[in-house]
Amino acid sequence: VISIAAKPDASFSASTVCLGNDVTIQNNTTVIPAGDPVNYSWNIPGGTPSVSTIDNPTVTYNSPGQHPVTLIATTQGGCVDTAVANILVSAPPVASFTVPVYCAGKPLTLTNTSSAATGFPIQNYFGSIPGGNPSASTSFQPTVLYTLPDTLPVTLIVSNADGCRDTATQNVIVS
């Protein structure tokens, strides 16, 4: 009797992840014929954990960039297949702005001092400016007008193309 072992076709996928967030690596391995048990061995350099034997490991990275991942799928019959791909870890921008001393009734420009890591430029800006005109803005450095003295929180949200974002809030003191 000749026994033919099942052949694995190793495959996986993972979404781009923002630095500091977890990513679950989706194991898409198939076996022909289906139903044969498969053992998985993951090599995830730069990730925590750096190795795993579970089907769909959840990993965190402490540095941005392309990180290689290797999956080795081995059937009970000893057939082996390997898949290698990169996971992109995106560096989030850092939201920051300055607010000068301000008197009501004059235009105020909020100075955007946000920064981004090389290769991960800021794509979107959103400012929440309660009590001001306008009360919201997507401008890089919005100009706003306050008509009454008050202390109001202003929030800046910046994000990159990968959806990584950061938020900064400061009080604007209107005299």
> Amino acid letter at 162?
D
Predicted local distance difference test score (pLDDT) of residue 90: 96
Over the chain (175 residues), what is each successive 10-residue block's mean pLDDT?
80 95 96 85 97 97 96 93 97 92 88 92 92 92 91 94 95 90
Predicted local distance difference test score (pLDDT) of residue 3: 67
Predicted local distance difference test score (pLDDT) of residue 2: 67
Bond prior to 45 in cis (omega within 30° of 0): no
Predicted local distance difference test score (pLDDT) of residue 99: 85
| Distance set, CA 62 to CA 22, 52, 131 (Å) | 10, 18, 39
- Give me the residue label for tokens 């919201």: 136
Please check whether residue 47 is in contact with residue 76, taking contact to mean a CB–CB distance below 8 angstroms: no
92 DSSP 8-state letter: P
CA dihedral 44, 50, 53, 57 (to 10 degrees): -70
Bond prior to 57 in cis (omega within 30° of 0): no
